[in-house]
Amino acid sequence: MNNNGAPNPRNRAIAMASLRAVVAGYLVYLGGKLISDYLKGESEIIPWMVWVFGPLFIVAGLAFGFYTWKRYQKEKAESQAESVQDTPAETLPETTEETPKQPESTEETPRLPEETEEASVPEDPKP
């Protein structure tokens, strides 16, 4: 947990990636088991279903595994970016660039007379 009580984003990314990897591995295992049982003659499933769903499970598991890896990389990069933002300014390296300071005035910007409510257009006198 970080200072504000929220879970560490890096730990959460690792936990979610691990869970997704288990699911992806299980899909690949199911597809392989379906095909291997059929080839051994231990399956009572219709052959066309074995050859449709076995490879389908394997491809789905591999695709989900690829998605898991890409998402983990993205979440890892985001958590590193957040950790840099959360670092106190004293520990960050000093930059050589000067940033212009904003004026700390609370006064309103002066307006042109056309923009104020007091300015009014005189009416034409009636003849």
Residue-number span of the structural domain to which 58 is assigned: 20-78
The conformation of residue 115, written as its DSSP 8-state character, comes to G
Q: Does 42 map to a domain?
A: yes
- 124 inside domain: no
Q: Which pLDDT tens digit goes with each residue over 35-72?
A: 999 999 998 999 999 999 999 999 999 999 999 999 99
Residue 127 lies in a domain: no
Query: Which residue would you say has higher pLDDT here, 84 or 112?
Result: 84
Gap between the Cα atoms of 85 and 54, Å rounded: 47
Is residue 45 domain-resident? yes
Is residue 11 a part of any domain in this protein? no
The number of folded domains in the chain is 1
Q: Structure tokens of 52?
A: 């449709």
Alpha carbon 35 to its chain's center: 37
119 part of a folded domain: no
